[in-house]
Structure 1
Amino acid sequence: MHINPLHPPTPKDHDNVITWDNLSGAAISLSIANLSHAQNKPIIVITSDIHAAEKLFHELKFFLNEDENILLFSDRETLPYDHFSPHEDLTSERLHILSQLPNIKRGIVITSISTLMHRLPPKSFLTAHQFCWKIKDSVDLSKIQKELTDSGYRRVEQVIQHGEFAVRGAIIDIFPMGSDTPYRIELFDNEIDSIRQFDIDTQKSISKINEMNLLPAHEFPLTEEAIAHFRTQWRAKFSGNPAESPVYQTISKGQPIGGIEYYLPLFFEKCVTFFDYCPINSVSVSVSVGVSGSNAAEQFWNEIKTRYTQLNIDKTRPLCEPEETFIPVPELFTKLKNFTQIKINSPTPTHTPTLLIDHRQKNPIINLQNFIATNPGKILICAESTGRREILLDLFKRNHLDVQCVENWSAFLHSHSHSRFLTIAPISEALFLPEEKIFLLTETQLFGHAIIPTHRAKKRAQDPDSIIRSLAELQIGALIVHIDHGIGKYSGLEKIITDNIESEYVTLEYADADRVYVPIYALHLISRYASQNPEQVALNKLGTYQWEKTKEKAAKQIRDIAADLLRIYAEREATKGFAFPKPNEDFFAFRQAFPFEETIDQRTAIDAVIDDMCKKKCMDRLVCGDVGFGKTEVAMQAAFLAAINGKQVVVLVPTTLLANQHVQNFQDRFSEWPIKIGILSRLQSTKIQNETIEKIKTGKIDIIIGTHKLLNQKIEYKDLGLLIVDEEHRFGVQQKERIKSLRAHVDILTLTATPIPRTLNLSMSGMRDLSIIATPPQKRLSIKTFIHEFDAGLIREAILRETMRGGQVYFLHNEVATMPTMIEKLQDIVPEVSMTFAHGQMPEKILEKTMADFYHQRFQVLITSTIIESGIDIPSANTIIINDANQFGLAQLHQIRGRVGRSHHQAYAYLLVKSLKTITKDAERRLEAISTLEDLGVGFQLATHDLEIRGAGELLGEAQSGQMESIGFSLYMELLDETVKALKAGKKPPDTFSRAHEPDINLHISALFPDNYIHDVHTRLMLYKRLSTCENSDATQNIKSEIIDRFGLLPEPAQHLFSIAHLKLQAKKLGIHKIEVNKQFGYLHFNDKPNINPKIIIELIQQHHKNYQLSGKNILRFVSVEKPDERIHLVDALLNKLS
């Protein structure tokens, strides 16, 4: 039967099952959307897996109107009988839908077969733990706290995620399950005075509301009655002593354990199913894509039984029977029969014409234009994102195809002013409705493959400068360097009132408990002190010459280092390199063929690299991005620009394994282009190596990939234009020297996941240009990281939970001599999994075969040395166990951990040590740092952590480490940067360093961020620091707009703060080092050589001698005004006159 997706057959009340045949792709979602329009009932859509459910959810959102209800009931994303619980955000979504479901009158709920097969808490549980609080309600604070605790909410100091609450006096902060934002409840006596939404990051209230709803924090209860019921059920069900079970003991104390959801039957008299929450008049729609619903259910049931059999051997963690925790297949389909059913049978593929865009043709969109000409009607072209839409718009415009943009499907249907439209929609398969003359085209037809959209990460990494120099993470007691006073301790922000004027100061403590108060406008004078052993650092003594002598000594050494650095890089600056032509159509065609959407950071990095290559100066750029964040694509686009313009490209990698992988990736990416790619490897025969070297010499290879063998001076290049270095810090001294010698002659692009300190800080000293890619790709989850002592039970669980979901495991053991013993031990722990091993001392051909076998999933566990550290990409490996993790550096741990988590599955890293009690303090700090930085895109911050932990001795050689320790790493780098700039400009660097040249401005007015405006001390401190270091008005305006956006309109003291920042910039340009203004008089203190025409000052005094007078040689006195705002305008106008 032919189904028209615009008017699909709807079930009559007496129909029990109807079938929709011959539907596929977007036709399925459009049909369901129109069913929803026609039915005044809830529609439950069931897919064969959660991936299909998510795809359908996004498509339906496009086809439905904005006001129509559509929900996705997600999977828990844990394995049957897992020892992990779902993420709080996931539980929040699930509880939100379960609470809404019984009362839904109309709308669509989408879920998968496996999700339906989990038993759920009864509806009465949600009802009992659901609250509604309104303004003016009478409440009891202690009763509220008990209700929250009984509902599973955790009390914390600061609320940041779902299921948490905090109490501060008469204020309660809470992040309810099912809510997008947390709430702040303020009590007046026993009455709710206000309810406000607030921002998690700033902790600032956003808007007021009149009432809020509260759901339980979990899908299980933790009340005293529920725990008593759990204990009774446990003892009745399981044999053995409950006192020996950590599960029983922990839950008995009212604390949830990982995987508690699989003990749900012990908390209730009877668990229910998802169908028990659905209104009885619901219509169920079963969508079978590839595999039928019954097959998918059978597969999942078999997995449940297998997991039960394998895991039910641990007597301390007995399991509930599968039938108690999950719904057997016959019961599932019996439940379905209670509802009107629509079945969409296995879809037939839609035969749609290929309309490939071919950039090599004079008219690349000729196929699309021919289709439009032969198919009169309305055509809608779907782009995956705003960025993709703009690319298509530009392409169509250049080739004279007129299209009109529309917001959604409804706008397209109701628009009659045009026939060709473009929209943003997550549709991957075309939809043809020839009878209605409607054609929906997708990027798959235009480009030959789907463009995978990359959704922007919610949190972005900061720019390099703020990561290093920001004071945002400063804790009380942290060491600080003041450029004039030396090393002290940060004691906090302090407000001081003088003459009724409130000012804020950073308080620093020095030796003998002396204190220095640093005004907030002078925070450019302080920086964090980073050292290897901060606890052993002595504070400076005020009022002595000790600090000045230390600075002079450091300054002398810094001048020598700066001169050496300049010699190294002078040749690069002086030598004219090859300026590549600006990118042409070919380059943009290559760029558009990238099968993913570029992230913002990736796009910025690519643009910067291409811009560098088009300059006459040789490029030397470092691209720093976490593992898997798209650095290779940056390299490929650079390589394409070089190769298409007749230059050869060398891609240098640290290992043969990585070289092989790069060759495959490059060949795939360049397959459509006449660019020859080759590899030079020790694994090749001498004959092949010689042939390859000859092809390099004659220019028959455009892009050559290999290890350090490519740096051999015997190899002659016909015309080398670009050197791409992957993980430079993995190469030896000789190779680095050779790379250094090439820097002055060819463009060099260095890729790294975690730059070593030297590389990082040469970038930051302006010697090399730096790009950071900190946006994770789509669906890339952060890696859950655990520190644990070596434990056979933990290792078994970690390996099985990965292999049970079809994944693979790296077990990193870096002692080759003891590897056979470790393999035997692991085989005893998990005899049922297949294992192999790999290390750098194996013959390379055997090593290559081993890695190929693991890549093709012929083995489940790879016991390996650090050979996996660089670049080997195995998406199915999502668990890594690192033995003796305390033996590794932080940068290396991060690099190794990055081998997992390269797909959308949750990845796990286990850092094992022999004993947590005996590891060194240094190793403990490294492990703590890596375990706390689970966020994606932390590679850059991690390198700076490494500097603090390991010390900065390696930065420029051991001889300098003493001076770095004496003045601190941040200040050392700042002074080095200033010295380099001075030498570059041909100026003599100063003998010591001070910041006296920064103008000191005191207008005797309150200029600060009030507590009630920005009440987080760290946030205020960071913003004060940023504002004090602004070098132009654009920078201050950017901060101002950011603050208004985050915190609202500026209060008067904050407005004054920005006004003073503006005056400071003006004063600095004019050569005024101090401005002092009170209610009566003002004083401008000029430098010895101010940047002011003396005639202006003379005319000012002559024309307004009552208001202006010279006081001494370098001071201009003027009459002031009483009101603060007028005082600011007076000084601003005076500085404008002088300029």
Structure 2
Amino acid sequence: MNKSIKKMSVRNQSEEIILQKCLHELNCNRLVTIKGLSTGALGLMLSQLFEILNGIVITPSEEKAEELESNINFFSQRRISQILSPDPYGILERELSAMGALYRFFSGDIRTIVTTPQGLLLKVPSEDKLRSSTFSISVGREENRQRIIERLIELGYERVPMVEIPGEFSLRGAILDIYPPGSDNPLRIEFHDEYVESIRLFDVRTQRSIRFLEKADIGAARLEGEKTLLSSLYGVVVMVDPEEVLEEIRNLEEAEGRQILRVLEELPRILINPMIAKGAELHVETHKVTGLREKVLAKGLSALASFLSDYLAEGYEIHLVSSTPYQTERLKELLKDYGFTFDGYKEYISFETGELTEGFVWPSLRLLYITELEIFGKRVTSKSKRPQEKRSALSSISIEDLTPGDYVVHVDYGIGIFRGLKRLDVNGLKDFLMIEYEGGDKLYVPVERLNLIHKWIGPSDHPPKLSRLGGTSWQRLKIRTKKAVAEVARELLELYVQRKTSVGFAFSPPDPLFREFEATFPYEETPDQLEAIEAVLRDMTSPYPMDRLICGDVGFGKTEVAIRAAFKAVMDNKQVAVLVPTTVLAEQHLRTFRERFERYPIVVESLSRFKTPREQKEILKRLKAGKIDVIIGTHRLLQKDVEFKDLGLLIVDEEQRFGVKHKERLKELKRNVDCLTLTATPIPRTLQMALIGIKEISLITTPPPERQPIKTRIIPFDKKLIRKAILFEIERGGQVFFIHNRVADIFNLKRQLEEIVPEAQIGVAHGQMSSKDLEKVMYKFVTGQINVLLCTSIVELGLDIPNANTIIVNEAHTFGLADLYQLRGRVGRSWKKAFAYFIVPSTDLLTKDARRRLKALEEFTELGSGFKLAMKDLEIRGAGTLFGHRQSGHVFDVGFELYQKLLEETLRELKGEKPRPLTPEINIPIEAYIPADYIESDAERLLVYRRLSMVEDSQELEEIKEELKDRYGPIPAPLKGLLEVISLKLKLQKLGIRRLDFTGEGLRLKFLPDSPFRELVLSKAIKESNTKVVSSDELIVKLKGDWKKFLLRVESWVENPMAIGGER
């Protein structure tokens, strides 16, 4: 018999004996105590129990509930547990969460619900009510669409333009999208007349279909609760750390607590690891994996190979668990590098991917589980199954942000006011953007030419002057601006060339030591992060000095990119300077860098006001002597007395926080030294340079798998709401930032908060405190001795505390958008849902700019929105400050986007690059538009029009076409016409034709002067008796038949310009 099969069967028998004992005692006593189960082993035990029984698991805290849910699901063949917990936003989200869990439980999809004492209070509908509210839809069945919509509204669903969260539905023509609570993915139902043609699951993020279904059950989104959760469920109750659970229950409202205790007494219970055993007692011996991390720290990953060999020699079955497939493969490769070949042990050792929060040893089962926690010393938690796809980020303010009344800039006609979409019959029905100019004149822009239109970005309080249609002033203004732009372009290009011609230090390529260091990173790198790391390494190994900007949201992994660059530099015997704007951030980075380098002989120090003058003097001496490898500091690093032995890399975090003098000193430091700049919200000039490719940029827009968007609310100073928000965070074991930017009355506010939330432990931190006092408060907050930190914006670029997941900003209207964005980024840095509350006076009292700032923050709650926020901030502040006083007038005159477009064009000319192809004008008799009953929302139609106008090749056009079919249903005839026009536009661009008209005379073609086909086509056309040559770049082809034949004719010329002959 195969050894592994024999061994596995022994293990299963042992597990079965333990389970049988438990079930027997449960039947006899209805109260069983199990002792000796470590966290990981408990997950294994309960996964086996809930394959047989249904039930509810109660843990004392949300954190323990999350851990246990993860561990049970890791060992189960199917998902059998789900968290239910309260939410400060109240009823809506709690209901949706509860409905989803209950559907799964009553349908048998899950066997248990894991919750906390607070979760037991949720009022939920009965099983009968849930079942009777559910209806089914099947492929091929006749269905009344209107009746389905009425039913969805009755069941608490909300109609939206695009489905994104459970409890929403959307109807677009023949496509009905529904997101039932409890479903991992929403449904897309496509109708043909009144019959269901197909049912598909689709991905919320991409909005694309992923799988076909024959049938779907749709349950209610909201139903009135009748009983508490505990009274509604059936089966066994498992209480983990029961004394703590009972303490939490007693802390609830008295009547509620008594009711829960009464119900619990009537149910069969299993007590896990109580201090005092009750009922029948079972004891198992399991323990955590100890000592491995210390050995790995001392000897590297070779210690892991030895550790595994020892347990294999004792006959253990070993499971190595990584959180992602990438980490699993990396661990295999590393073990091979250290000589662990698995020969003779393949049946006894397995590599697994999943979310086990902690390893364990179960001696009686000869079973060992090892996770990344035991190897790398950090627990990797990944609660979100969101795919890590790349998103487009480097783009201009998109046209879908336009609303009627906005100022726009047309490249050829100037500044006007967008008045909306208008459908006109011009050689067939088509959609146009209507733009109003001076004197009320209107311009109608065909949607395929939307790429010529930009939103005007400038100060909102100083609207631009409208251009006059038919006048020459706009063209003269463009010429003037282009001359001014040329100055800036030459200056920028000189900087670029200067850097590319400077001689830098070429670092060595990554070696096995570097790859081992990479492997000690305990998280999976996101695709963007990996790209950024590779780009940095490419820059460093080149002979030119690096000057790269890493732009990414707070907590998206910029620091790790910098750490790897620093490691590479130090391994090549160079020093690294890390420049940060605040003392707090310097200390934070000091801890992070030291932690990552702890296994290596790398000396990391910091230079800030936390150091005494004597300590600073000693550090400077060691730095000059080359005894410090990495120095982290504030602007203190920029003073003249700071000297390096051999500086090779400069890392600048949040450069926009430094003043003009500091930036001048930075320029000196950067000469011939590799420079890496990190930012979450780029400063406008850096952003501008990034957009035009003069400064190398890496964007990290993919969030870590576990991150969730931060719930953002604008609120008045309401004591009840503030108490609710703070108490919710404290009760789930979290911490709160309360930002108040006035030192004068910060202690008065502290006293007020102590009255509002007496349960909170409140500490105060501000920039005028002594460094010792500040450090003491920060330390208490970091270590959890304080759960509310009342502070000024000193935390803005400082603390990284994953346990702090609520931030309240007082008088938020007095902050800038970038500041508020950075402050909000202090929370939501773990898998927990995070909340940001911005306290403002009545919105009537706010300035227009303050309202726009706060609206922008509420609008951009999605992860990775820092780049878009930077663009919004440009709009609010006015983009004129980008280039100083010399250029501000020109930026104002033509708008930020057109200015940067002119700058890009000028730079292409100076670099000798080809200009971008012009957009041809097309006038043919065809209906070309998106019907409103196909895409109802004007904003969505604008978005599709914009995407189509920007298409660069036929493959991209085909992809959009497939996406339209998937999301909106079969493509109607007018949209097919529009797709044909876009296809023709691409072909005309290749041929160098700038205008095509269908007239009574025939097909009129106008070439660009530099068209590569102009001479060839003209010379051939002259030979055609039915071709009239109007000029050296224009001809009329008199062809018989309708416009479609003309279109096919033109297409044949594009495909084969040599073949002019053929049909007349």
TM over 0.5: yes
Change (3 A) 1:1081 1:358: farther
Asked if 1:738 corresponds to 2:747, the answer is no
CA positional deviation for 1:705: 0.6
Alignment of structure 1 residues 351-500 onto 2, 5 Å: 354=292, 366-367=305-306, 370=309, 374=313, 380-395=319-334, 421-430=350-359, 441-444=370-373, 446-447=375-376, 449-453=378-382, 455=384, 457=386, 462-466=391-395, 468-499=396-427
CA positional deviation for 1:948: 1.4
Q: 1:433, 1:881 → 2: CA distance? A: 46
CA positional deviation for 1:615: 1.9
Letter of the 1:5 partner, please give it. Answer: E
Change (3 A) 1:664 1:913: same
Letter of the 2:943 partner, please give it. Answer: M
Out of 92, 99, 117, which is 2:96 matched to? Answer: 92
Change (3 A) 1:209 1:512: farther
Deviations 1:444-494 (A, max 9, x none): 45545544447464697843333x242122223322210111122333344
Asked if 1:348 corresponds to 2:267, the answer is no
Change (3 A) 1:1057 1:31: same
Letter of the 1:1018 partner, please give it. Answer: A
Asked if 1:645 corresponds to 2:584, the answer is no
Alignment of structure 1 residues 222-301 onto 2, 5 Å: 271-272=227-228, 274=230, 276-278=232-234, 282=235, 284=236, 286=238, 288=240, 292=241, 294-301=242-249
Note if contact 1:403-1:422 (Cα within 8 Å) is conserved in structure 2.
Answer: no
Change (3 A) 1:513 1:837: same
Out of 133, 156, 179, which is 1:130 matched to? Answer: 133
Greater RCO (CA < 8 Å, at least 6 residues apart): 2
Which of 42-51 and 652-661 deviates more? Answer: 42-51
Question: 2:1012 corresponds to which residue?
Answer: 1091
Question: 1:1113 corresponds to which residue?
Answer: 1032
Which of 1071-1080 and 777-786 deviates more? Answer: 1071-1080
Q: 1:141, 1:1030 → 2: CA distance? A: 36
Which of 921-930 and 553-562 deviates more? Answer: 553-562
Question: 2:14 corresponds to which residue?
Answer: 4
CA positional deviation for 1:1091: 3.0
Deviations 1:678-716 (A, max 9, x none): 122234333322222222222111101111121223322
Give 3-state SS (helix, strand or coil) of 1:917's partner. Answer: helix
Change (3 A) 1:647 1:1117: farther
Change (3 A) 1:74 1:1128: farther
The percentage of aligned residue pairs carrying the same residue is 35
CA positional deviation for 1:721: 1.1
Letter of the 2:117 partner, please give it. Answer: S
Gaps of 5+ in 2: 1-9, 272-277
Q: How many residues align?
A: 1032
Q: 2:208, 2:516 → 1: CA distance? A: 46
Asked if 1:556 corresponds to 2:565, the answer is no
Change (3 A) 1:434 1:840: closer
Change (3 A) 1:274 1:603: same
Out of 71, 87, 98, which is 2:80 matched to? Answer: 71
Change (3 A) 1:1034 1:682: farther
CA positional deviation for 1:996: 8.8
Q: 2:733, 2:43 → 1: CA distance? A: 30
Q: 2:239, 2:699 → 1: CA distance? A: 43
CA positional deviation for 1:671: 0.5
CA positional deviation for 1:665: 1.3
CA positional deviation for 1:399: 6.7
TM-score, normalised with respect to structure 1: 0.79
Note if contact 2:84-2:101 (Cα within 8 Å) is conserved in structure 1.
Answer: no
Question: 1:250 corresponds to which residue?
Answer: none
Give 3-state SS (helix, strand or coil) of 1:767's partner. Answer: coil
CA positional deviation for 1:724: 0.6
Change (3 A) 1:569 1:345: farther
Which of 1073-1082 and 525-534 deviates more? Answer: 1073-1082
Alignment of structure 1 residues 695-774 onto 2, 5 Å: 695-774=622-701
Alignment of structure 1 residues 806-885 onto 2, 5 Å: 806-827=733-754, 829-830=756-757, 833-885=760-812
Asked if 1:782 corresponds to 2:709, the answer is yes
Letter of the 2:255 partner, please give it. Answer: E
Alignment of structure 1 residues 705-1104 onto 2, 5 Å: 705-827=632-754, 829-830=756-757, 833-985=760-912, 997-1001=918-922, 1016-1031=937-952, 1064=985, 1067-1068=988-989, 1071-1075=992-996, 1082=1003, 1084-1092=1005-1013
Q: 1:142, 1:1064 → 2: CA distance? A: 43
Q: 1:839, 1:1055 → 2: CA distance? A: 62
Deviations 1:914-947 (A, max 9, x none): 4432221111211222233333322221111111
Change (3 A) 1:547 1:630: same
Question: 2:250 corresponds to which residue?
Answer: 302
Note if contact 1:601-1:774 (Cα within 8 Å) is conserved in structure 2.
Answer: yes
Note if contact 1:629-1:776 (Cα within 8 Å) is conserved in structure 2.
Answer: yes
Q: 1:20, 1:165 → 2: CA distance? A: 46
Letter of the 1:335 partner, please give it. Answer: L
CA positional deviation for 1:776: 3.1
Out of 243, 259, 264, which is 1:332 matched to? Answer: 264
Q: 1:641, 1:448 → 2: CA distance? A: 23
CA positional deviation for 1:662: 1.2
Asked if 1:626 corresponds to 2:541, the answer is no
Which of 9-18 and 642-651 deviates more? Answer: 9-18
Q: 2:528, 2:851 → 1: CA distance? A: 33
CA positional deviation for 1:276: 4.3
Note if contact 2:409-2:895 (Cα within 8 Å) is conserved in structure 1.
Answer: yes
Change (3 A) 1:461 1:494: farther
Change (3 A) 1:197 1:64: same
Which of 812-821 and 345-354 deviates more? Answer: 345-354
TM-score, normalised with respect to structure 2: 0.84
Q: 1:100, 1:810 → 2: CA distance? A: 37
Alignment of structure 1 residues 1116-1127 onto 2, 5 Å: 1123=1044, 1126-1127=1048-1049
Note if contact 1:22-1:347 (Cα within 8 Å) is conserved in structure 2.
Answer: yes
CA positional deviation for 1:840: 2.2
Deviations 1:767-792 (A, max 9, x none): 32222223333543433333233344
Change (3 A) 1:977 1:378: same
CA positional deviation for 1:379: 5.7
Q: 2:434, 2:494 → 1: CA distance? A: 41
Question: 1:228 corresponds to which residue?
Answer: none
Give 3-state SS (helix, strand or coil) of 1:609's partner. Answer: helix
Asked if 1:533 corresponds to 2:460, the answer is yes
Deviations 1:792-831 (A, max 9, x none): 4544444444445554443333233344544455455556
Deviations 1:696-745 (A, max 9, x none): 22211110111112122332222111111111111111111121233342
CA positional deviation for 1:627: 2.1
Change (3 A) 1:111 1:1076: same
CA positional deviation for 1:550: 2.4
Change (3 A) 1:1134 1:1014: farther
CA positional deviation for 1:1049: 7.9
Q: 1:818, 1:364 → 2: CA distance? A: 56
Which of 829-838 and 1037-1046 deviates more? Answer: 1037-1046
Note if contact 1:43-1:107 (Cα within 8 Å) is conserved in structure 2.
Answer: no
Out of 498, 506, 510, which is 1:579 matched to? Answer: 506
Deviations 1:507-564 (A, max 9, x none): 3232343322222332221111112127834432211123223222322322222233
